């Protein structure tokens, strides 16, 4: 029976969906996720299109389905280290990093209150800090704290140990090795924002108040660093005039040569964030082409015609620091033929989607594009790839592909 289990690598929306679909069809699932929580990039969004609803609504449903299904075993802070065998009979070595907090944790926050050390909050892209003992985000699943020992020096962790009433702190935890026997493997490793600091002309990391689209999601989120109020990182002021720069790193042979699919919709959506909070604000979107595939066209029309939104066709040439923490943007307005040099309170870069596996390939016989995307046509039997591991996709398509991958996986198990 152990041979009939399925390994899913990646606990984002694609991996979660595949896991619950396979498990509810009667097969055992091992879900491996490198982060200390499940939910992936979707958990970091404020809203997702086209309905503009909070993503945690959909994630909560999957969390509940996992909790209620004993066929799903999930491992957070875990990585696949080795894979041997063939379709129908894989032996997989997994290493689980120590969390230093066991399952007795009630998420009471006592350890964080007592902890004297701080760390950059990677969930909020470094825009604020957490204690070294922290919950990744308010609705994290599993609802269990983590101690980041890299920021917890010397006897720092003793404060957490003394503060916990439930004996949930275990400072003696070691990396744990697991051997899993599975019949099929699903790769759902997702994506990360491209390191746009490599594009010198766009100023990220050098010019104040130039942020990425994912940072904008966290600013707009009620659980974000500003409690959901969109504020400039430099001084906390609410921006009145914001530029959105499309294709930041995408469709560029020096960075990501492909279209990242979601960026246009993300910027249109984020323009609505800005105007919902301040109807007097201005959102100006600089684009090469606006791409809103399929039924999203109506959303584009709605935002395009919203007062306070201006679309400018033209590639941004340079972004520099202006006076009083303002941002100066230089671009060409293709329609008018003029060169523009405008000043904004903040600039949001629509940063492209880079596969998480780029530079960090799995110990599997997979074929990749030069950009690190898995080539599905080269996959062997018993191995399936989906979502942003093989091509940039939005949440809706990720879920659709996950359901299809679950069906294919089950078919392969039945045919054995």
Region 260-287: mean pLDDT is 96
Residue listed under structure tokens 């523009």? 340
CA max distance for the chain: 68
Task: Say which residue, 48 or 303, is predicted with more confidence.
Answer: 303
Q: How far apart are CA 328 and CA 341, in angstroms?
A: 7
| pLDDT tens profile 166-220 | 999 999 999 999 999 999 999 999 999 999 999 999 999 999 999 999 999 999 9
Tokens of 206: 């050098």
Q: Is the pLDDT of residue 296 over 70?
A: yes
**What pLDDT, on a 0 to 100 scale, did the predictor assign at position 96?**
98
Domains 2-97+175-190+356-415 and 195-352 fall in the same CATH topology:
yes
Compute the average pLDDT of residues 37-60: 88
Rg of the chain over CA atoms, in angstroms? 22
Name the CATH topology of 2-97+175-190+356-415: FAD/NAD(P)-binding domain (3.50.50)
Work out the average pLDDT over 352-377: 92
Pick the CATH number of 195-352 from 3.40.50.720, 3.40.50.300, 3.50.50.60, 3.60.21.10: 3.50.50.60
pTM of the full structure: 0.95
The secondary structure of 288-343 as a DSSP string is S-----GGGHHHHHHHHTSTTEEEEES-EEEEEE-GGG-EEEEEEETTTTEEEEEE
What residue spans define the domains of the chain?
2-97+175-190+356-415, 110-163, 195-352
| Predicted local distance difference test score (pLDDT) of residue 3 | 53
Cβ distance 119 to 129 under 8 Å?
Answer: yes
Q: What number is the average pLDDT over the span 271-299?
A: 93
For residue 114, which of 155, 143, 85, 79 has the smallest C-alpha distance? Answer: 155
Query: Tens digits of per-residue pLDDT, 60-86?
Result: 999 999 999 999 999 999 999 999 999
Average pLDDT on 241-268 reads 95
User: What confidence tier does 4 reach under pLDDT thresholds 50, 70, 90?
Assistant: confident
Give per-residue pLDDT as tens, 148-179: 999 988 888 899 999 999 999 999 999 999 99
Mean pLDDT of 339-357: 97
């Amino acid at each position: 029976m152990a041979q009939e289990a399925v390994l899913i690598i990646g606990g984002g929306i694609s991996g979660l969906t595949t896991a619950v679909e396979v498990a509810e069809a009667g097969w055992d699932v091992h879900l491996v996720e490198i982060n200390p929580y499940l939910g992936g990039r979707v958990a970091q969004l404020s809203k997702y299109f086209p309905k503009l609803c909070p993503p945690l609504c959909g994630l909560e449903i999957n969390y509940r389905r996992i909790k209620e299904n004993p066929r799903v075993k999930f491992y957070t802070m875990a990585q696949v280290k080795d894979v041997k065998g063939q379709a129908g009979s894989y032996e997989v070595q997994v290493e689980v990093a120590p969390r230093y907090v066991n399952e007795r944790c009630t998420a009471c926050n006592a350890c964080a209150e007592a902890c004297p050390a701080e760390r950059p909050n990677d969930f909020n892209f470094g825009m604020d800090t957490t204690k070294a003992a922290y919950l990744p985000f308010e609705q994290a699943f599993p609802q269990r704290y983590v101690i980041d020992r890299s920021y917890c020096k010397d006897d720092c962790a003793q404060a957490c140990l003394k503060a916990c009433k439930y004996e949930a702190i275990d400072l003696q935890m070691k990396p744990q090795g697991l051997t899993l026997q599975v019949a099929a493997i699903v790769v759902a490793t997702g994506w990360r924002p491209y390191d746009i600091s490599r594009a010198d002309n766009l100023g990220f990391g050098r010019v104040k108040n130039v942020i990425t689209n994912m940072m904008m999601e966290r600013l707009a989120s009620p659980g974000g660093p500003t409690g959901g109020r969109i504020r400039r990182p430099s001084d906390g002021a609410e921006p009145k005039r914001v530029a959105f720069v499309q294709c930041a790193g995408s469709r560029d042979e020096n960075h990501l040569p492909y279209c990242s699919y979601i960026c246009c919709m993300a910027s249109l959506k984020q323009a609505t964030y800005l105007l919902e909070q301040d109807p007097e604000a201005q959102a100006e979107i600089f684009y090469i082409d606006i791409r809103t595939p399929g039924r999203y066209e109506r959303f584009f029309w709605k935002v395009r015609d919203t007062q306070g939104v201006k679309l400018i066709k033209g590639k941004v040439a340079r972004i520099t620091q202006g006076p009083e923490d303002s941002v100066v943007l230089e671009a060409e307005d293709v329609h008018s033929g003029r060169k523009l040099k405008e000043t904004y309170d903040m600039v949001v870069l629509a940063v492209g989607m880079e596969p998480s596996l780029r530079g960090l390939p799995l110990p599997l016989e997979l074929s990749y594009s030069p950009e690190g995307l898995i080539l599905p046509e080269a996959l062997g039997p018993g191995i399936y790839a989906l979502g942003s591991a093989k091509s940039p996709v939005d949440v809706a398509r990720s879920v659709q592909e996950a359901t299809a991958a679950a069906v294919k996986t089950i078919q392969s198990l039945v045919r054995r």
